[in-house]
Amino acid sequence: MSKKFYVTTPLYYVNAKAHIGHAYTTVIADCAARFARLLGRDVFFLTGTDEHGEKIKKSAQDSGKTTIEFIDGVVEEFKKLWSKLNISYDHFIRTTDKQHCETVKLAIKKIYDKGDIYKEKYQGLYCLPCEAFWTKEQVKDTEGLCPDCGRALELIEEENYFFKLSKYQSWLLEHLSKNPDFIKPKSRFNEIKSFLEKNTLQDLCISRPAKRLTWGIEFPEDVDFIVYVWFDALLNYISAPGYSVNDMQFNNIWPADIHFMAKDIIRHHAVFWPIMLKALELEVPKTVFAHGWWKFDNQKMSKSLGNVVDPFDVIEQVGVDALRFFLLREIPVGLDGNFSWQAIFTRYNSDLANDFGNLVYRTLNMSEKYFDGIVTGADVPIPENFAQVLSSMKDKYIECFTACEFSVGIESVYTFISVLNKYIEDSKPWTMSKEGRTDELNNFLYAICEGIRICTVCLWPVMPQTCESVMHQLGIPADFSVNDIDWGIVKDYKIQKEQPLFPRIDVN
Ligand code: MSP
């Protein structure tokens, strides 16, 4: 396995504040980044904002601010949320960054010089709000309306630059057949493969006349045109690590290990993007991972539908780590999920307050009560019923987190948590204390502390703040490594109990 790990989120549009859907992708990417760090890999985690296009300029106008003032404000909001959610990104790219704009121009020039970009007069059905062209074929099922937003289209004739997608179609199909992990989950792989098998790719219009679109990157050597926002935005994944400006760094980081996004933009990432890279003679990403949608009342959560949930509201109710836990535990990455307050409170009270929080609190409480917080572990053997569960939990956890199956991976940690809770019930430590069986009581508490420590290491990518606090309360350094998912690593515990991690929430 290579040591470096490059993971990305999509660049979010800045026409509105982030909602739970945006938080979801970013938390998934953060969990993957932290897990890679746990494995000792050298991580480059990229997120950022997509800032060009008329829609964004229009939102700025509506707010009465200048475009850049408006965008700066939204970017600050995004950064505030990522900081609150403990998102450990290494770089935040904005498509208005000077270096990114230069890279976009350079990449276009390179592809143009190679003959894969050409200029042509074009007639097409155009959706102004989506800034997208559609063919007659594409709108035949939507009665001539925009397949994305359902609004009326205009017939437009103009000159534009086109990128030869068609030239690379058979190469992409071959790449897919040789690389079954290129698109995940499998259902999306099959969808893209069958799309490529059944359709002939149309060349992609990658410019907009400057008379119509002004807020964007100027086309190199042709000021009458502006670069199409998607062509601009996708290139962020190579401009951020330093393509064309810092070759050494770029070669260390590229290709990306995983691009995360939701299923609605899989085609941009699994068709346009690899072809752009091929034209630039660069390697393609190892995996493009499309997760499902968070819905509210069974409709995709989106600003335009007005059904968004504000992550700050959820954090206020249940805290940062409970939100992260809920997003990662509730649905397998890849499937859709329905957001409900009922579901989040139930998950909080059962998995966090009851199973994990209570396990930690009562163990620390007993350690202080019976031993003034000093639990010694010299030569305490692993209890018989732990060994088997721990070993299969460790294998399953590593396998699932490597495959980004976080929900199942968390479930496997919970099998161990329930063994620990049952061990407390079955061992009856209060009787050991009453009968003066001090050594037995110490060994029992050591075993539970070791169990808690191991689960805490595993859960750190999911709930970093909570897990760091647990380590602190156990009196051991908050260092997290996969090598610590083993028995007997810590010799003595010096407990410093704090408040319960997840006080129960009374829902009524
Ligand atoms: N700017 C483009 C992406 C360019 S990437 C080079 C874009 N931006 S977006 O603001 O619309 O964000 C889309 C991404 O936000 C989705 O791919 C997904 O990661 C996340 N989500 C937005 N709404 C979502 C849900 N309701 N549910 C899950 N994820 C959602 O597209």
Q: Where do the DSSP E strands lie in 263-329?
A: 287-291, 294-296, 299-300
Alpha carbon of 280 to ligand 1 centroid (Å): 26
Q: Tokens in use for 243?
A: 């393509």
Q: Tokens in use for 440?
A: 């037995």
Of 19, 17, 15, 130, residue with least CA distance to 61: 15
- What phi, psi does 326 have (nearest 5°)? -60, -50
Is any atom of ligand 1 closer than 6 Å to the C-beta of 235?
Answer: no
Mean pLDDT of the 227-255 span? 97
Of 357, 301, 351, residue with least CA distance to 329: 351
pLDDT tens for 362-415 read 999 999 999 999 999 877 889 988 999 999 999 999 999 999 999 999 999 999
- State how beta strands 4-13 and 222-227 pair: unpaired
| pTM for this predicted structure | 0.95
Residue 137 three-state SS: coil
The pLDDT-based confidence of 296 (bands split at 50, 70, 90) is: confident
pLDDT tens for 80-133 read 999 999 999 999 999 999 999 999 999 999 999 999 999 999 888 988 877 777
Q: Per-residue DSSP letters for 155-207?
A: EEEEEEEEE--GGGHHHHHHHHHH-TTSEESHHHHHHHHHHHHHSPPPPEE-E
Provide the mean pLDDT of the chain.
95
Alpha carbon of 195 to ligand 1 centroid (Å): 22
Of 2, 30, 1, residue with least CA distance to 324: 30
Give CA–CA dist 191/174, Å, rounded.
15
CB atoms within 10 A of CB 38: 20
Is any atom of ligand 1 closer than 6 Å to the C-beta of 84?
Answer: no
Q: Which helix (H) or strand (E) holds 62?
A: helix 54-63
The residue whose CB lies within 8 Å of the most ligand 1 atoms, and thus the one to mutate among 13, 234, 310, is 13
Looking at the DSSP bridge assignments, the partners of residue 127 are 132
CATH architecture for the domain at 4-291: 3-Layer(aba) Sandwich (3.40)
Contacts of 154 (CB under 8 A, 6+ apart): 125, 126, 127, 128
Residue 437, pLDDT score: 96
The residue whose CB lies within 8 Å of the most ligand 1 atoms, and thus the one to mutate among 19, 24, 271, 303, is 24
| DSSP H helical ranges for 331-383 | 341-347, 358-371
Alpha carbon of 57 to ligand 1 centroid (Å): 19
Give CA–CA dist 356/325, Å, rounded.
12
Give 193-202's long-range contacts (Cβ < 8 A, gap of 24+). Answer: 195/267, 195/271, 196/169, 196/172, 196/271, 197/173, 200/166, 200/169, 201/165, 201/166, 201/169, 201/271, 202/135, 202/165, 202/166
Domain locations along the chain: 4-291, 341-494
Contacts of 497 (CB under 8 A, 6+ apart): 361, 364, 365, 367, 368, 373, 473
Stretch among 28-32, 381-385, 420-424 having the lowest mean pLDDT: 381-385
* 341-494, CATH topology level: Isoleucyl-tRNA Synthetase; Domain 1 (1.10.730)
What's the distance, Cα to Cα, between the start and end of the chain in Å?
50
The pLDDT-based confidence of 2 (bands split at 50, 70, 90) is: low
Pair 129, 149: CB distance under 8 Å: yes
Contacts of 181 (CB under 8 A, 6+ apart): 286, 287
